[in-house]
């Protein structure tokens, strides 16, 4: 899950970088700084996910994961993957719009992406708390 999420977020970051180039080409300077911030935020969250511990407890470890805890972790994983897909779909669509010169909804799209990245990070942090709650 973590590797897939990281790779998908890297793809989204690449899309946002292409969007930045399109904004530069269109001389939309008022949209370039928010785009730079989006790229930096997405990169930070992607690296946070990539560098996180797996949370794996070995077969002979003293702590065993209860079924309800496993269900919670699976629910967080599903939420994470939904958030990653939402971001990936949005960046792909944004890139297509900007490469076609459609700047009308660019600021709204940037704000939506900012909110989606914040939601992803919050979901990831919650999952981490669940995993750490299982460890001794």
Q: Which CATH number is associated with domain 2-134?
A: 1.20.120
Residue 58 is predicted with a pLDDT of 47
Average pLDDT of every residue of the chain: 87
Give domain limits for the chain. 2-134
Q: C-alpha angle 24/25/27, rounded to 5°?
A: 60
User: What are 91-108's pLDDT values in tens digits?
Assistant: 999 999 999 999 999 999
pTM score, two decimals?
Answer: 0.83
How many angstroms separate the first and last alpha carbons of the chain? Answer: 24
């Amino acid at each position: 899950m973590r590797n897939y999420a990281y790779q998908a977020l890297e793809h989204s970051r690449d899309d946002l970088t292409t969007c930045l180039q399109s904004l530069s080409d269109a001389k939309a300077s008022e949209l370039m700084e928010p785009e730079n911030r989006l790229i930096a935020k997405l990169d930070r969250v992607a690296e946070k996910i990539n560098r996180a511990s797996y949370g794996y407890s070995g077969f002979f470890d003293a702590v065993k994961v209860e079924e309800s805890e496993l269900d919670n972790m699976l629910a967080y994983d599903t939420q994470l993957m939904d958030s990653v897909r939402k971001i990936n779909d949005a960046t792909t669509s944004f890139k297509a719009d900007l490469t076609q010169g459609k700047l009308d909804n660019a600021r709204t799209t940037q704000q939506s992406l900012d909110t989606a990245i914040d939601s992803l990070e919050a979901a990831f942090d919650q999952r981490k708390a669940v995993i750490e709650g299982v460890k001794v």
